[in-house]
Chain A
Amino acid sequence: MGQWQPIATIAADVQAGRVTARSIVEQSLKTIAKRSDYNAVIATLEERALSRADTIDALVGSGASAGRLAGVPFIAKDNFLVFGAETTAASNILKGFAAPYQATAIERLEAEGAICVAKANLDAFAHGSSTENSDFMTTKNPRDMTRVPGGSSGGSAAAVVLEMAPFALGTDTGGSIRLPASYCGAVGYKPTYGLVSRSGVVAMASSTDVIGPLAASVADCALVIDVMAGRDSLDGTSIENDPLGYADVTPALTGKKVGVIKEYMAEGVTAPILGIINQAINAMADAGAEIIELSLPSLPTALAVYYILCPAEVSSNLGRYDGQRFGYSFQEADTLETSYKQSRSRGFGKEAKRRIMIGTYVLSSGYYDAYYKKAQTVRTKLINEFNAALQEADFLVGPTAPDVAFKIGENIDDPLKMYLTDILTVAANLVGVPSISIPAGAVDGLPVGLQIMAAQRADRELLSFANGVEELLA
C-alpha cells in the first residue's frame, strides 16, 4: 500500500522513537492539504494535533508508554464532538458550534495516544448516501472525481483511501460506514449495536446509530475497535466488550459455516457485482469454509421499516436544534414561535426537513399504529429471522451495495432512488448485528465491497473471519 504502515507498526515506531509523532501528524496534514480538492475534510485541527503530537513525543522521550495508538493520526466524521473543535455535522444549524465536551470514542482513542487531525465531511446530520446532502460541499470519490464517495461517512472513506490518515471514524445508522467503504475501496466496520459508546456523537436514529472505523485493512479496524469498545457510563445502551478483546484477528476460515442470503443475491444487484461476490464465496469454499444458502423472507421489507423508524427518531432527535441555546438562531424574530420556525427553517437543509416531516407524520396520533408500531413489529420479525439464520450459519455474506458509486447529481432529485442504495445495509442496523464491508474487486475501476455479518457480540469472530477473507482476496 501507500504511505501508511499498519496502525500497530506506526504506534510501535513512535513508541520506539524511530519516528516522531509530530512528523507523522505533519505528513497527515500535508496530505490533507494536497488533496483538498476532493472535499473530504471540513476542517483540520492543526494546532491541537501538533500540540498533542509534541506531548506524545515528550512522553516517549521520558521513557513512558504513550499508548497503543501512540502518534497515530485519524480523521473523525464531523458529527463526533472533539473538545474545543467546531462540530457541525455538516449542517448550517450547527455552524460555529464549538464542542464543550467530547465523544467517548475520541476520549478512548486519545487516551491511547491517537491524534485527531481533521473533521470529515458527511451528509448533514448523516442523512444521505452520497455526501451531497452536506450543507457545505460534496466529497468526490477518490477513484473517480465525477462520482460520489457514498455516504453518509463519505468524507471519512475518501480520506482513508486518499491516505490522509491511517484510519477515520464514521457512524453507521443504515449503512453509512459500509456503503462509502464499498464505493471508495476501504474496509468499513459497523460493530454490534452498543459496542462503542454513542456519547458525544450527534444522534441520527438512536436505535440504529453505531460508531466504527474505516481503514485500509481489517486488522487496523480491529485495533481501533479494541480501543473504543466497551461499556460507558454515559451511554445506557452501551455493552460490555469481549474479554478476549478484538485486536487478535488470526484468520479463521476452515469449518466456518457461511450463509449466502438468497435475498441479497437477488435482482437489483448488478451482474458484475454478483460475479465478484460469487468469486469471493468460491474462494471461501476453497479455503475450507462450508457454504450454505439461506433465506431471510422479511428482508425486502427492511428498507421500508428503516425509512419509517429512522425518520421518527430523527424528528425527535432534531428537536433540540431550536435556535435557543446553541447553533444557528434567527435573530430578527419578535416572537418565540417565529424564532423557532425561522431558526429551524433556515438552519436545516432539505433532507433534514424531509425526515422531520416524515417522522412527525408517522408518530402523529392516528398514524402511529399504522406506521411506527407496525414497523416495530416487522423489525422484531426481522430480528427473529436473523437469529434463526445465525443459528445455522456463523456468518452471512452478500454484496454491500447493489451497484458501484454513482455520478454526482445522478440521484439528487430522486430521494427514493437514493434511499435504495441502503437496501443491503439497513437490515444489520435494524437487527443490531455487526457487519463489515471489505474490498472484493472492481467494476470498470470502481470498487465493490463484500459484506459479512455475524451474530450480535460476535465481533471478534467476525473480524477474524474477515481478516481471512481479506487475505484470500488480496
Chain B
Amino acid sequence: MINPDVKAQYTTTIGIECHVQLKTNTKLFSAVSNDAREAPANTLVSHIDFGLPGALPVLNQEALHLAVKAAFALGTEPERFSKFDRKHYFYPDLPKGYQISQFDEPIIGKGSITVQVDGQSKVVGITRAHMEEDAGKSTHPAGADYSMVDLNRAGTPLLEIVSEPDMHSSAEAKAYAYELYLRMRYADVSEANLYYGNMRFDVNVSVSKTEELGTRSETKNLNSFKSVEKAVDYEVERQIALLEKGEKVVQETRGWNDDKQSTFSQRSKENADDYRYMPDPDIPPIVLDEAYIADIKAAMPLLPDDYRAKFAAIDIDNKVVADILAVPESAQLVSRVLDAAGPEHARRIAFWLMLNSVTDPEAPTATSQTQVPDEQLIKLSQLVSGNKLSSTAAKEVLAELQAKGGDAEAIAADQNLLQESDEAAIAAIVAQVLQTNDKAAEDIKNGEMKAIGFIVGQVMKQSQGKANPALAQQLIKKQLGI
C-alpha cells in the first residue's frame, strides 16, 4: 500500500470505453440470431458472419434504431450523417480481415451524463459512441497445439461509448459505469446483463503530480462494476509505486485477473497499430431524417434522471431511490403508483420495494421484482394508511401476495392481521389490562415509560394482535391521565 500522503500528491485521471451489446433479434449485418448465450459453437453463423467470398453486410435497422435511442440516453442527439468504416487486422476470430466499425463519423457525438457518487452528482462528458460488430471468440486450451474459434458472437451489434477523461477516483469510475448500465437498461437499448458480457468496460488510467497527464494504461474487458473499481485502485497503486521508485509507466494494454484482483500486462502499445481505416463501400452512409429522429425521441421511455427528479419531488429518501432505480420495473411501478394514488403510497411502496430488492446486475438472470398488480399494492398501502394493518403485518401480506397472489384485504383478514381501530373496543381492553397490572400502571405514572411498552404488549395479546398499537398507547396515557 502506498502511503496516503504520497498518494495525495497525485491526481488520477480515468477515461472509460464501454462496449454495450444492443438487444436486437439478429446480428448487425446478417439475419442470424443475436442470442449466442446457450447456442453450441458456430451454429449462429451465416455466410456473412463467416466472411465467405461474395458475402455482403446489410445494416440491421433495429440496431440503428437502438443506437438512436442510446444517443438520447446519453444526453445528446444522433448525428444526422454517419458512416461505417473497415478496421483492418488479421486474427482467426475476425473472419473478413477487418472489423466493421465507425471511425471518424460515428452515430453519436458529444454528450454528457450526470452520475451519482456517494450521494453527490458529477457530470462526465461523453466523447462519442459508435456502432461496430463484435468479433468471434478464441479459446486456447491449456497445453494444446491448437486454438479454437467460435463465430457465434461474430457480428453481434455493439455500441462503444467513449467517455472524456473526467473521472478522478475509482468511486467515480464505478459510478459512471453503473450509470451507463442504468441508462442502457432504462432506454431499453441493451439487456445489459453483465454476466453474459452484454456490457464490458475498458478503463484508461493515469496518474500525475503535475497538470500534464501521465502515461496511461488500458485495462480491458472488465465485466463488473466492482472490477472497474478494483482495477482502477490497483492501477493507481501500481503506477504511483513505479513513479515513486523513479521508474516509468509503460503505455500498454492490460488484463484483469479476478482471482488475484490484479491487472497484468498484455501487450505494449508504444507502436500504435495501423488499422488502415477505410470507409466501407458495402454499406451506404447513414443519413437520418428529422421525422425518424423525432418519432424515436417521442417514444423514449423515462430515464433514471427523470425518475430521480420525480421521486425527489415527493421526498423519497435518496437511498431508497438509488435502490429502486436498480430495477427499472420497480421505478416504473413506483412512478405509476405516484400517478394513480399519490405520494404517500408511492413512498411506502418504494420502501417495500427497497426491502425486497435483491437484484444483482452481475447475476445470470437479474431477479425479477414483484409481480403483484399495482392495485393490490395500493390497496395494501391504503390498509396501512387507514390504520387497519400494521407495517409489520403489511410485509407479511406482501410476502403472501408475491407468493400466491390474491386480494390484499382478504389475505389480511384470513391471516387475522387486520387491526382493531375501534377506539371504544380498545379502550375497554386497555382499562381491563391496566386494572390487572396496577403495578405497571403505577410505574408509568411515576415516569417509567418503558412500562408502557409492557402494557401495549398486553393489550396486543388480549386483542389477539389486532389492536392498533399507536392507538393503544394513546389510550393508555389518556386513561392514566398523563
Q: Give me the interface of A with B, judged by CB distance under 8 Å.
A: 81, 87, 89, 94, 97, 100-101, 103, 198-203, 205-207, 233-237, 312-313, 315-316, 318-320, 322, 324-326, 336, 340, 360, 363-365, 368, 372
Contact = CB atoms under 8 A, between A and B. Distances in A.
A78 to B, nearest CB: 11
A360 B278 CA distance: 11
A205 B86 CA distance: 14
A198 B50 contact: no
Contacts of B276: 315-316, 360, 363-365, 368
B58 A236 contact: yes
19 contacts: A81-B53, A87-B53, A198-B56, A199-B54, A202-B53, A207-B281, A234-B56, A234-B58, A236-B57, A236-B59, A237-B281, A315-B276, A316-B278, A320-B51, A320-B53, A324-B92, A340-B90, A360-B276, A372-B278
Interface of B: 47, 50-59, 86, 88, 90, 92, 95-98, 147, 272, 274, 276-278, 281-284
A325 B51 contact: yes
B51 A236 contact: no
B282 A316 contact: no
B61 to A, nearest CB: 11
A313 B281 contact: yes
A307 to B, nearest CB: 16
A205 B278 CA distance: 13
Nearest to B96: A320
Most buried by B among A319, A325, A336: A319
B98 A316 contact: yes
A233 B31 CA distance: 10
Which 6 interchain pairs have the tightest Cβ spacing? A319-B97, A207-B281, A363-B276, A206-B281, A200-B54, A320-B51
Contacts of B86: 316
A340 B278 CA distance: 22
Contacts of A233: 58
A207 B285 CA distance: 13
A236 B53 contact: no
A303 B47 CA distance: 34
A237 B52 contact: no
B185 to A, nearest CB: 30
Contact of B53 (A89, A312, A315, A372): A89
A321 to B, nearest CB: 8
A237 B53 contact: no
Contacts of B88: 316, 319, 363
Given A237-B282, A364-B274, A319 B90 contact: yes
A372 B57 CA distance: 23
A79 to B, nearest CB: 8
A101 to B, nearest CB: 5
Most buried by A among B54, B55, B88, B283: B54
B55 A199 contact: yes
A364 B274 CA distance: 7
Contacts of A205: 281
Given A316-B86, A319-B90, A319-B97, A325 B53 contact: no
Contacts of A315: 276
A201 B54 contact: yes
A320 B277 CA distance: 16
B97 A320 contact: yes
A314 B212 CA distance: 43
A315 B276 CA distance: 10
A33 B360 CA distance: 71
A233 B57 CA distance: 10
A203 B281 CA distance: 11
Contacts of B147: 336
A100 B56 contact: no
Nearest to A344: B90
Most buried by A among B59, B88, B272: B88
Nearest to B145: A334
Contacts of B272: 365
A56 B422 CA distance: 92
Contact of B56 (A235, A316, A326): A235
A340 B94 CA distance: 13
Nearest to A197: B56
B147 to A, nearest CB: 8
A233 B51 CA distance: 17
B287 to A, nearest CB: 13
